[in-house]
Structure 1
Amino acid sequence: MEKTCEVTGCTNPSFKTVPAELARKVFSLSVDKTKVHLCKEHYKEYKKKTKEDRKIDRADWV
């Protein structure tokens, strides 16, 4: 069974899995999990909108 994008209203196949905490800042999600599956289009949007948050997270563990 192929997994699908977990953004509300999207039925595209899953491309990447990302932390739900950051994904909730960008999208309305249909599930309550710790990790969510995103399609290629939503993953690209996720990367653009969470760039600064991810940069700060990486700086913490250096």
Structure 2
Amino acid sequence: MLRNPHQVITRYRIIEKVWDYDFMGESNIIKVYIRALRIKLEASNAKDLVPTVRGVGYVLREQK
């Protein structure tokens, strides 16, 4: 996401690039890691930087 800010990254692409894994199916692993990332960002007063694009994936926004 850092390499492509403001670009929606699909869940499949995240699995493929982060874990180098050809995943066929449903998993909540992405949700778990995105939630952990959000918690860490909120701890440093950076909120709403990684919103969900419903049905597609996630995007990295600039801090307001």
Settle same-fold status: TM greater than 0.5. no
Structure of greater relative contact order (alpha carbons < 8 Å, 6+ residues apart): 2
Give the alignment's TM-score, normalised by structure 2: 0.29
TM-score norm. by structure 1 comes to: 0.30
